[in-house]
Copies of this chain bind each other. A is one copy, B any other.
Amino acid sequence: MTISPDQLLCSLRWRYAIKQFDPSRMIPGNIWDALEESLVLTPSSFGLQPWKFIVVADPSLRMKLLSESWKQPQVTEASHYVVLTARTDLTSDDIEAWIERLSEVQGTDIGTLGPLKGMIEGFAQAMSQEERRAWNVRQVYIALGQLMASAAALGIDACPMEGISASGYDHVLGLAGGSHTTVVACALGYRAVSDKYAQAPKARFERSQVIKHV
């Protein structure tokens, strides 16, 4: 079931950050379902999944988010719009919840997971709350990377949205003061035929400038 190197590179070269989506084209249900599952399956440190992904369909919410996104049209024109959020902390309760879930899924006695739990707790306690939050935020970027690569493989267009007001999003989505905070968003759908960026040659530094062999 693996793909060929050519097929991988073809999909990664085909993708680009869409500026103009075709608002009339919706992602079919079975494909969207796979993209949600690719978010769920994202790897994270210790498996902690310190995130929540909010799929915003409500047009009035999309309009409110538009105002918090420098009016970038992808927010309202893309078929689907996901806001990726991170936990603001990593508490003992969060770790406990993960250990319980691990025990349940793997059928392992929770007592045997004590050493793992202790290791994660030691790791978390060695950081300040601000460091734990930054660590959670970094994990969310793994999810963004996996989501964009998965979308490309399925032939779905995407645009990562970093130019947004995280606090504005938190306010619109009712997250302010809660356990999670907005990190980044991603618009997904189909490029408009008129998006001239589709024709621009893909620009990256030379491989020799970014890859070093030692």
Contacts and interface: CB of A to CB of B under 8 A. Distances in A.
A200 interface: yes
Contact of A137 (B1, B9, B13, B138): B138
Interface stretch (A48-56, A71-79, A187-195): A48-56
A144 to B, nearest CB: 6
Interface residues of A, number: 76
A210 B142 contact: no
A126 B105 CA distance: 46
Contact of A173 (B52, B173, B205, B214): B214
A162 interface: yes
A165 interface: no
Interface string A52-81: 111111100100000000000000000000
